[in-house]
Amino acid sequence: MSSLLVEGLVKGYGKRPVLEGVDLEVPAGSLTAVLGLSGCGKTTLLRVIAGFERAQRGRVALGERTLDDGHSYLPPEQRGIGYVPQEGALFPHMTVEANVGFGLSRRERRGGTVAELLEMVGIAGLAGRLPHQLSGGEQQRVALARALARRPDALLLDEPFSSLDATLRNHVREEVHALLRAQGVTTVLVTHDQEEALSLADVVAVLRDGSIVQQGAPAELYESPADERLASFLGAVNVIPADFAPGAAVTPLGTLALRAERAPPAHAAGAVVVRPEQLEVRPREGGDQPGLHGRVEQCRYYGHDALLEIRPETPGATELLLARVLGQHALPAGTEVTVAARGPVTALA
């Protein structure tokens, strides 16, 4: 088990720069998700780590070994890094057994290693099948078993679940997660699905415009995003204007505690990030209740929860507020409500 380190990685194709100084640290045995929109360079990053492309500048290291420093470079077959490409990329002319055994020596292939691996990923009965006879989920498992066969020091997964349909995806995702946990292999997972990144990974790194904008634990990223773009990329968000006081933000939703981890803003006024689930919405029952007054304009009901779009009645507040409530607390459009927020919140830089 080794940690994987990427420092100042630069890579482009022709005149088009793709990665412009990527820094990424993957702790040994962790699962790190690299999250980014399609075309942001996620796959290129994986390809450089795997050794299919060379770095132009920067350094890639696995444990004590330098894999690529922009001058010398270790070919992929000597890196000990497993790679699971999109849609599995199984060798179409080989059976499941031959695919999984591809990287093994003849002795290992005979010794029942392949059967163990197939057992491990839960497809022991499919050894003799050809890839086109497998479902998408099965193909993914074979690809995983194949990559794990050589006991790699690190494992790279390139959008491994994106080709699966929604119901299957959750299932396979959980299984793979449990498997990787059990193996304790240092893993980099590349994805454009923020839900997948947040729910699976120990560490999430967000790649944007060729560099990592923020890296941290899922909750840290979700609660304290570096900027507004990142905040909305990770989930629905309310950006609320605020006046800053020491340790607190004064907003139309009341005075909210500021998160201590983030340095307080130097300026006196700005905005804070308030996630929809931080809003408490109550129907107004006459009287003068505390909190912001508003009216539900639309209710999107998802079953387990509901997203309310609320038009504040306060003069001057024009933006709609998004509030997430439990499904059983959904309110029909037109309901008069009061809205309060639960802190702490994070100030936007």
Partner 1 sequence: MSTLTPSQPLSRRFARTRSGWRRWPLASAAGAALAVALVLLPLVFVIVQAQQSGWGEVRRLLFRHEVAVLLWNTVRLGLACTVACAVLGVGAAWCVERTAIPMRRLWAVLLVLPLGIPDFVVGFGWVSIDHSLHGYWAAVLVMTLSLYPLVYLPAATALANVDAGLEEAARSLGLGRWRTFWRVTMRQIRLAVLGGCLLVTLALLAEYGAFEITQYRTFTVEIFTEFQLGFDAVAACVLSLVLVALCVAALLGELLLGGAPRGWRSGTGVARPVSRVPLGRLTVPVLAALTALCAAALGVPLYALVYWMARGSSTTLPSASILGALAHTAEFSAAAAVLATALAIPLTTLSIRHRNRLTLLIERVAYLPMALPGLVVALGLVSFSVRYALSLYQSALELIVAYAILFLPLAVVAVRAAMVQAPARLEEVGRSLGRGPLSAWMRITLPLIAPGLRAAFALVFISSATELTATLLLHPTGVNTLATQFWAYTSDFSYGAAAPYAAVMVAISAVPVYLLSRRMTPRAGARRA
Binding site for partner 1 (CB under 8 A): 7-8, 10-17, 20-23, 25, 27, 47, 50-52, 54, 56-57, 75-77, 79, 81-83, 85, 89, 91-93, 102-103, 146-147, 149-150, 203, 211-212, 214-217, 220
Q: What's the rounded Cα separation, in Å, for the pair 319 and 121?
A: 49
- CB-based contact 266:313 (threshold 8 Å): no
- For residue 273, the minimal CB distance to partner 1 (Å) is 17
CB of 25 to partner 1, least distance (A): 5
User: Cβ contacts of residue 346 below 8 Å, gap of 6+?
Assistant: 223, 224, 225, 258, 259, 262, 272, 273
Buried b (16+ CB within 10 A) or exposed e, 20-41: eebebebeebbbbbbbbeeebb
Nearest to partner 1 of 207, 330 (CB atom): 207
Query: The tokens 């803003």 sit on which residue?
Result: 265
**Which of helix, strand or coil describes residue 272?**
strand
Torsion of CA 163, 165, 166, 169, to 10 degrees: -60
Which residue, 15 or 267, has its beta carbon nearer to partner 1? 15
Residues with Cβ within 8 Å of residue 257, at least 6 apart in sequence: 247, 248, 343, 344, 345
Q: How far is the CB of 231 from partner 1 (least distance, A)?
A: 16
- Name the packing angle between helices 113-121 and 136-148 (round to 10°): 130
| Cα angle 195, 196, 200; round to 5 | 120
Minimum CB–partner distance for residue 264 and partner 1 (Å): 18
HSE, side-chain direction, 13 A CA sphere, residue 333: 6
State the minimum distance, in angstroms, from the CB of residue 3 to partner 1: 11
Minimum distance, C-beta of residue 80 to partner 1, in the bound complex (Å): 8
For 77, left (φ over 0), alpha (ψ -120 to 50), or beta? alpha
Q: CB of 112: closest distance to partner 1 in angstroms?
A: 19
Q: Which is nearer to partner 1, 204 or 242 (CB)?
A: 204
- C-beta closer to partner 1: residue 134 or 323: 134
Query: Looking at beta carbons only, is 54 or 284 nearer to partner 1?
Result: 54
